């Protein structure tokens, strides 16, 4: 009873508009997962038609969804969310996947999944706020230092296009892109601000990191667009074109449920605006949003969205199941404006275009295999960049909390994690280890060892 009263008190303190927005996203996402319309986890998407077509029981599907998602929520989504605090979308939508699938496939289950999804979303928002406040009340307040975990990301995020080119086209071309990135950074830093005479009153401050990333991305897509498929006879179809023909009924199923998906896209775009700062599509954009780097967050979200086009597009065509945030371009729409109404309209339009052009996008990718391969390499490169940046950031933050020992603990957790039978996601080690060091610092203080 006391816990319920405390939760209700926390609920009163939360911004009702933000809570309502997040609750709506949670409800819609859980209901779409319940009916097999859309799920966030890429690994769960192929299993939905197995259940819908009678080859997999609801119980087995529910157990699998929990196994796939629970570890990522606890070990990846929530630790990153605590560093900002902005909710990493994985924390929300992986949870609604589980809720939707666990509720029965009936009218009652559909409504119940929406109610539980909304409550989960609000509890997530309230819970994160409570944890942050709890950490702030400890004798050793490590929340300020916890935010340092993401500092290296701000500088390193512009490097991933060079890594992508290195993976895809070789080391030498990767070095050229890296050189262009560094030159772009130095040139922007030396210019500083741009003045436009009487057109704009205040000079525009240029962001070196954002400019460097933009130059690097242009170079990356230049190489990707140059690569064309080998010459074939006129009547030979590409792989995606054959996939579209084979699964046309599953594309029609997604398009039949487009209005729920469109609403989800619009609401997600609103939650991603800097004025709301509720949801981030990934750890990099989350850290940039937390530091007010809107342009940098937008460019990272754009790159990530492009990387998800082949994955989300092909799995959607093959399974008839979409993602509640689509190909992630709705986050770009949110970050492009601070006006929630414009963001909502843009998010709705983008999601509708994705769904209606799904087949054409897949066929277009056949013509540019370099872009399709680029998507896989972008995800790999960003993951590698994050693993290094967050490990270094975790060491910097942990050393600020416990000088000397912080380095040792983070390195120890990272290395021992590699020996575990069920290791944590490597990019989550930095935030998790820093939280552990913060708690340990408080234990040492209480014991008189600090």
256: Cβ–Cβ under 8 A, 6 or more apart, which residues? none
Are 353 and 305 spatial neighbours (Cβ–Cβ below 8 Å)? Answer: no
Q: Which residues of 59-87 are buried (b: 16+ CB within 10 A; e: fewer)?
A: eebbebbeebbeebbebbbbbbbbbbbbb
Q: Which of 193, 191, 208 is nearest to 156 (CA)?
A: 208
Alpha-carbon span 23 to 437, nearest angstrom: 33
> Is the sign of the CA dihedral 359, 360, 366, 369 positive or negative?
negative
Q: Give the position of tokens 């500092």.
A: 151
Domain ranges of the chain: 1-146+242-367, 163-226
CB neighbour class for 276 (10 Å; exposed up to 12, middle 13-18, buried from 19): buried
- DSSP state letters, 291-347: TT-HHHHHHHHHHHHHHHHHHHHHHHHHHS-B-TTTTTHHHHHHHT-S-HHHHHHHH
Query: Phi and psi of 117, rounded to 5°?
Result: -60, -40
Gyration radius of the chain over CA positions: 23
96: Cβ–Cβ under 8 A, 6 or more apart, which residues? 26, 29, 30, 33, 40, 117, 120, 121, 324
pLDDT tens per residue across all 450 residues of the chain:
444 455 445 554 568 899 999 999 999 999 999 999 999 998 899 999 999 888 899 999 999 999 889 888 888 888 888 877 799 999 999 999 999 999 999 999 999 999 999 999 999 998 887 887 788 788 988 888 888 888 888 788 888 899 999 999 999 999 999 999 999 889 888 886 655 555 445 565 667 887 888 888 888 888 888 877 666 555 555 565 666 656 778 889 999 999 999 999 999 999 999 888 899 998 888 988 888 888 888 888 888 888 888 888 888 888 899 999 999 999 999 999 999 999 999 999 999 999 999 888 878 877 777 777 888 888 888 888 888 998 999 999 999 999 989 999 999 999 999 999 888 888 889 999 999 999 999 999 898 876
pTM: 0.84
User: 88: which strand partners?
Assistant: 280
E strand or H helix that includes residue 415: helix 405-417
Alpha-carbon span 125 to 87, nearest angstrom: 8
Are 433 and 410 spatial neighbours (Cβ–Cβ below 8 Å)? Answer: yes
């Amino acid at each position: 009873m006391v816990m319920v009263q405390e939760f209700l008190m926390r609920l009163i303190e939360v911004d009702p508009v933000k809570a309502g927005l997040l609750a709506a996203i949670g409800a819609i996402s859980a209901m779409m997962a319940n009916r097999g319309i859309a799920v966030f986890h890429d690994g769960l998407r192929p299993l939905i038609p197995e259940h819908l077509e009678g080859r997999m029981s609801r119980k087995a599907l529910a157990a699998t969804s929990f196994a796939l998602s629970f570890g990522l929520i606890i070990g990846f989504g929530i630790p990153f969310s605590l560093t900002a605090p902005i909710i990493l979308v994985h924390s929300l939508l992986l949870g609604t996947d589980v809720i939707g699938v666990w509720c029965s496939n009936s009218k009652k289950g559909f409504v119940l999944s929406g109610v539980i999804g909304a409550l989960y979303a609000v509890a997530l928002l309230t819970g994160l706020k409570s944890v942050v406040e709890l950490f702030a009340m400890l004798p050793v307040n490590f929340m300020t230092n916890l935010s340092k975990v993401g500092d290296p990301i701000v500088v390193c995020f512009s490097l991933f296009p060079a890594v992508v080119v290195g993976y895809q086209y070789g080391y030498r071309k990767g070095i050229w892109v890296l050189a262009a990135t560094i030159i772009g950074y130095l040139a922007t830093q030396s210019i500083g601000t741009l003045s436009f005479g009487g057109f704009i009153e205040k000079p525009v401050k240029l962001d070196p990191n954002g400019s460097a990333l933009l130059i690097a991305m242009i170079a990356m897509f230049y190489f990707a667009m140059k690569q064309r498929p080998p010459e074939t006879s006129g009547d030979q179809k590409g792989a995606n074109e054959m996939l579209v023909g084979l699964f046309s009924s599953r594309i029609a199923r997604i398009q039949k449920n487009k209005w729920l998906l469109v609403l989800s896209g619009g609401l997600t775009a609103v939650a991603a605006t800097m004025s709301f700062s509720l949801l981030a599509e990934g750890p990099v954009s989350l850290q940039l949003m937390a530091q007010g780097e809107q342009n940098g967050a937008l460019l990272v979200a754009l790159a990530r969205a492009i990387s998800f086009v082949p994955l989300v597009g092909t799995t959607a065509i093959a399974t008839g199941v979409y993602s509640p945030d689509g190909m992630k371009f709705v986050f770009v729409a949110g970050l492009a404006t601070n006006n929630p109404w414009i963001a909502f309209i843009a998010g709705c339009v983008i999601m509708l275009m994705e769904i209606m052009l799904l087949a054409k996008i897949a066929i277009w990718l056949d013509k540019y295999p370099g872009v399709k391969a680029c998507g896989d390499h972008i995800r790999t490169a960003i993951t590698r960049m994050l693993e290094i940046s967050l490990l270094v950031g975790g060491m910097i933050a942990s050393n600020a909390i416990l000088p000397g020992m912080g380095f040792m603990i983070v390195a120890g957790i990272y290395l021992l994690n590699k020996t575990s039978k069920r290791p944590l996601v490597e990019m989550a080690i930095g935030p998790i280890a820093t939280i552990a060091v913060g708690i340990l610092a408080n234990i040492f203080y209480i014991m008189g060892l600090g």
